Structure 1
Amino acid sequence: MRTLCASTLIGEFFVIGFAGLVAMKDDSLSLTTVWTVCGVAMLLSVLLCGLITRPGGLQLGWALQIALIASGFVVPVMFFLGATFAVLWWASLHYGRKIDEAKARWAAQAQARAAEAEAGQPG
């Protein structure tokens, strides 16, 4: 799960940066505001890569997805991109858990086979 979620978050890092470049063109927004908000969101996306398995990490990830969608009020294309990344975030969680479960099963089976092989050898 961690790999899929981290990949999604790194993609979001770049999208947030590009959205900041687009938002810079809006005369009603100061550059300081744009880059403070984008910088915090970009930093959060990178930090979340390491916090995914920690308590509250997944909830922070969902909060970032909601913030990305809400950023569509400033940069309209972000409604679409935010929703796309929210779906990718869900898929990363859903399929990542399935992959983790399958890996755990395979590891348990390999351990059982190794124990059987060791038990069957003369000592």
Structure 2
Amino acid sequence: MRTLCASTLIGEFFVIGFAGLVAMKDDTLSMTTVWTVCGVAMLLSVLLCGMITRPGGLQLGWVLQVALIASGFVVPVMFVLGATFAVLWWASIHYGRKIDEAKARWAAQAEADAEGEAAEAKPA
């Protein structure tokens, strides 16, 4: 799960940066405001890569997804991109958990097979 979620967050890092470039063209926003907000969101997306498996990590990821969709009020295309990344975030969590469960089953089966072979190899 961690790899899929981190990949989604790194993609968001770049999308947030590009959205900042688009938002700079808005005369009603100061450059300081745009890059403060974008910088915090970009930093959060990178920090979340390391916090995914910790308590609250996934919930913070959802907060970032909501913020990304809400940024569509400033850069309208972010409604679509934010929703797309929210779906990717959900898929990363959902399928990542399934992959983790399958890996655990395979590891348990491999361990059981190795123990069985070791027991057969012991002389009686």
Q: TM-score range by the shorter chain?
A: over 0.9
The size of the alignment, in residue pairs, is: 123
Instruction: Report the residue type matching 1:53 in the other structure.
Output: T
Structure 1 Cα separation of the partners of residues 79 and 14 of structure 2: 16
Deviation of 1:47 after TM superposition, in Å, equals: 0.3
Structure 2 Cα separation of the partners of residues 36 and 122 of structure 1: 66
Moved over 3 A (4+): none
The TM-score with structure 2 as length reference comes to 0.98
Structure 2 Cα separation of the partners of residues 120 and 61 of structure 1: 49
Deviation of 1:66 after TM superposition, in Å, equals: 0.0
Instruction: Report the residue type matching 1:92 in the other structure.
Output: S
Deviation of 1:122 after TM superposition, in Å, equals: 2.2
Instruction: Report the residue type matching 1:96 in the other structure.
Output: G
Structure 2 partner of 1:87 = 87
Structure 1 Cα separation of the partners of residues 26 and 69 of structure 2: 18
SS class of match (1:81): helix
Structure 1 spans left out of the alignment, 5+ residues: none
Instruction: Report the residue type matching 2:121 in the other structure.
Output: Q
Q: How big is the alpha-carbon RMSD for the aligned residues of Structure 1 and Structure 2?
A: 0.6
Structure 2 Cα separation of the partners of residues 39 and 26 of structure 1: 17
Q: Deviations over 1:23-79 (max 9, x none)?
A: 000000000000000000000000000000000000000000000000000000000
Percent identical pairs in the alignment equals 86
Structure 2 spans left out of the alignment, 5+ residues: none
Structure 1 Cα separation of the partners of residues 107 and 55 of structure 2: 25
The TM-score with structure 1 as length reference comes to 0.99
